[in-house]
């Protein structure tokens, strides 16, 4: 379907996308320039500066940036919408479920208190929220397509699988497209370990959950200890679906996460246990059992004991594997032993003119890396000499809390600076102070907890280097601090760093979720810094 001259509104886009998703044989959606010399079909002139294979966050942002710089990108995607897995199966449902977990948690703690009704677990349905998500996800899809065509002026071919022919040529929708460069943003898919029984009905990952769930789970076993395991597990448990996490590594000590402060980890994982989740660390899943449908999971515990956990719902939180096979086979891109496309800091693969971005490459499978890697590829293609180093970044996850962190942990700071590390923390660590009953920290999202369940009102820690007075790290459990952390990250990474004096002289928007500004101000007057 050629939509170049149509200017669909959001409802029309929504309807078209839904029609395409419902019919696997539906036509490709073509938004291509009319210019006959435009790089389609003719073969001779590589008319596009780049074909972005994959229109997820990396491809969409890369293509948009290239177009804004005056370049000519083309996006090709197998899905009938742009934006990739984020609005369809990943970040957006995760945030919907995490927000529900936070709400449900509050309703449970305050059941039948003040204006809260008595908590009715029968109304907290995983299936219903999955349906709410699936019914509503099309509006983000529609907007991505509309914005990319009408505002960002980027050409695309959707609902058409791309076949890479060589490093300048891609076929899709029965046409051949030629370009000076290829930018591969083909994403990743959940990967399962080799455990017998994972083919049974009732075993899901974050993709299968939104695409296939058709019953209300009553008991959940999660295999794996990833962010996904903690986030989805916290939601399932908050609905009343009792959840056990089976993880080889201690939670938040998996290889994929760095800079996790031990006090923060204990508050977070302790909080999950306080809410009744069973967390089996050092445990090995042995088999998933049942007939056609899952009935139990056999687990070898850290103690060596082997137990059978009855369940009607297994959720896999064991990570993802990049989609590198086609690009490796056809154009020979180098792939690392962990299955990621190998790129330099300009996102160049070993094949000249071929870039890889997003979840295909090393580093965290997070949005900032996806989008910025796409933009880095685009800017380099357009002649800039730009590097993107994603080894340091602020990070976050959700349980029934929002957990954010950046920079060094206390232990890492002490490894580097010995005793010259100052900790500013809330609640403070003082033996015998009865801090569980201290209604601090408190701010948005934690005020009710502060007054009625003070031990639930969060945790925060600032790590400062005594001699230079620079902030080395910040760690937060509560709500509403993600924004602050993306700016804190920037400030900490500046050549001069961020000192406790500068931080303490900022204008706090009281009651600010992280209390770092005012806590720093209370200490900044001291020439020789002290803990707080
Ligand atoms: C909520 C939302 O922004 C939709 S998902 C984003 C996809 S993209 O803008 O392409 O990174």
Q: Where are the beta strands (DSSP E) in 40-192?
A: 48-53, 73-76, 155-158, 163-166, 169-172, 175-184, 188-190
pTM: 0.96
| 10-87+135-189+322-381, CATH topology level | FAD/NAD(P)-binding domain (3.50.50)
**Residues 387 and 346 sit within 8 Å (Cβ to Cβ):** yes
The pLDDT value given to residue 106: 98
For residue 9, the CA-to-ligand 1 centroid distance in Å is 18
Q: How far apart are the first and last CA of the chain?
A: 64
Q: What is the pLDDT of residues 354-381, one digit of tens each?
A: 999 999 999 999 999 999 999 999 999 9
Query: What is the C-alpha to C-alpha distance for residues 321 and 332, in angstroms, rounded to an integer?
Result: 18
Closest C-alpha to ligand 1, atom 5: 87
| 203-249+260-318, CATH topology level | FAD/NAD(P)-binding domain (3.50.50)
To 5 degrees, how large is the angle CA 402–CA 406–CA 409?
105
- The CATH number given to 401-523 is 3.30.390.30
Q: Tell me the two tokens of residue 220.
A: 């959940």
Query: What is the C-alpha to C-alpha distance for residues 2 and 5, in angstroms, rounded to an integer?
Result: 8
Whether the domain at 10-87+135-189+322-381 and the domain at 401-523 fall into the same CATH topology? no
Catalytically annotated residues: 82, 86, 91, 141, 510
The pLDDT value given to residue 255: 86
Closest C-alpha to ligand 1, atom 6: 83
Q: Tell me the two tokens of residue 436.
A: 């569980």
The pLDDT value given to residue 43: 44
User: Which positions of the chain have pLDDT values less than 70?
Assistant: 35-46
Atom of ligand 1 at shortest range from CA of 371: 11
Q: Under 8 Å CB-to-CB from 115, ≥6 apart: which residues?
A: none
Residues near ligand 1 with C-beta < 6 Å? 57, 60, 83, 86-87, 92, 140, 144, 371
For residue 480, the CA-to-ligand 1 centroid distance in Å is 20
The domain ranges of the chain are 10-87+135-189+322-381, 203-249+260-318, 401-523
To 5 degrees, how large is the angle CA 410–CA 413–CA 416?
155
The pLDDT value given to residue 40: 53
Q: What is the pLDDT of residues 173-206, one digit of tens each?
A: 999 999 999 999 999 999 999 999 999 999 999 9
Please classify residue 250 by burial: count the beta carbons closer than 10 Å to its beta carbon, then call 0-12 exposed, 13-18 middle and 19+ buried: middle
Which residue in 171, 162, 182, 159 sits closest to 30, CA to CA? 159
Helix (H, G, I), strand (E, B) or coil at 421: strand
Query: What is the C-alpha to C-alpha distance for residues 318 and 81, in angstroms, rounded to an integer?
Result: 27
Q: Tell me the two tokens of residue 495.
A: 């050549």
């Amino acid at each position: 379907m050629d939509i170049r001259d149509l200017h669909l509104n959001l409802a029309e886009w929504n309807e078209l996308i839904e029609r395409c998703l419902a019919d696997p044989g539906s036509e490709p959606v073509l938004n291509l320039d009319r210019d006959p010399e435009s790089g389609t079909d003719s073969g001779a002139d590589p008319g596009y500066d780049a074909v972005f294979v994959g229109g997820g966050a990396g491809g969409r942002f890369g293509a948009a940036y290239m177009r804004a710089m005056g370049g000519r990108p083309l996006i090709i995607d197998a899905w009938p919408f742009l934006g990739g897995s984020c609005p369809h199966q990943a970040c957006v449902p995760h945030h919907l479920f995490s927000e529900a977990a936070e709400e449900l948690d509050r309703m449970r703690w305050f059941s039948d208190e003040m204006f809260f009704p008595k908590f009715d677990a029968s109304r907290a349905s995983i299936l219903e929220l999955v349906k709410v998500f699936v019914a509503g996800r099309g509006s983000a899809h529609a907007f991505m397509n509309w914005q990319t065509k009408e505002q960002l002026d980027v050409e695309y071919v959707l609902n058409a699988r791309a076949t890479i022919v060589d490093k300048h040529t891609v076929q899709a929708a029965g046409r051949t497209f030629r370009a000076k460069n290829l930018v591969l943003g083909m994403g990743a898919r959940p990967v399962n370990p080799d455990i017998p029984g994972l083919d049974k009905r009732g075993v899901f990952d974050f993709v299968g959950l939104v695409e296939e769930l058709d019953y209300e789970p009553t008991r959940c076993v999660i295999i794996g200890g990833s962010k996904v395991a903690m986030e989805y597990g916290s939601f399932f448990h908050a609905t009343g679906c009792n959840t056990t996490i089976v993880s080889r590594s201690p939670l938040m000590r998996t290889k994929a996460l760095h800079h996790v402060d031990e006090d923060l980890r204990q508050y977070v994982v302790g909080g999950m246990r306080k809410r009744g989740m069973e967390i089996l660390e050092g445990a090995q899943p042995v088999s998933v059992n049942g007939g056609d449908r899952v009935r139990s999971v056999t687990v070898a515990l850290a103690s060596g004991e082997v137990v059978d956990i009855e369940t009607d719902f297994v959720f896999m939180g064991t990570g993802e594997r990049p989609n590198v096979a086609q690009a490796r086979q056809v154009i020979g891109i180098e792939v690392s032993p962990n299955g990621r496309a190998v790129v330099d800091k300009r996102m160049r693969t070993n094949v000249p003119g071929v870039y890889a971005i997003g979840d295909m490459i090393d580093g965290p499978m997070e949005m900032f890396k996806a989008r910025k890697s796409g933009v880095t590829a685009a800017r380099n293609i357009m002649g800039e000499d730009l590097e993107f180093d994603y080894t340091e970044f602020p990070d976050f996850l959700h349980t029934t809390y929002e957990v954010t962190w950046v920079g060094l942990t206390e232990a890492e700071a002490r490894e580097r600076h010995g005793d010259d590390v100052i900790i500013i923390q809330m609640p403070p660590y003082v033996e015998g102070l009865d801090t569980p009953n201290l209604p601090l920290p408190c701010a948005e999202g934690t005020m009710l907890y502060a007054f009625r369940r003070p031990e639930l009102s969060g945790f925060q820690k600032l790590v400062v280097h005594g001699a230079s007075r620079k902030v080395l790290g910040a760690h937060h459990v509560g709500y509403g601090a993600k924004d602050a952390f993306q700016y804190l990250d920037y400030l900490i990474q500046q050549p001069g760093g961020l000192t406790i004096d500068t931080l303490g002289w900022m204008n706090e928007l009281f009651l600010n979720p992280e209390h770092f500004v005012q806590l720093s101000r209370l200490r900044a007057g001291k020439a020789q810094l002290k803990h707080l």
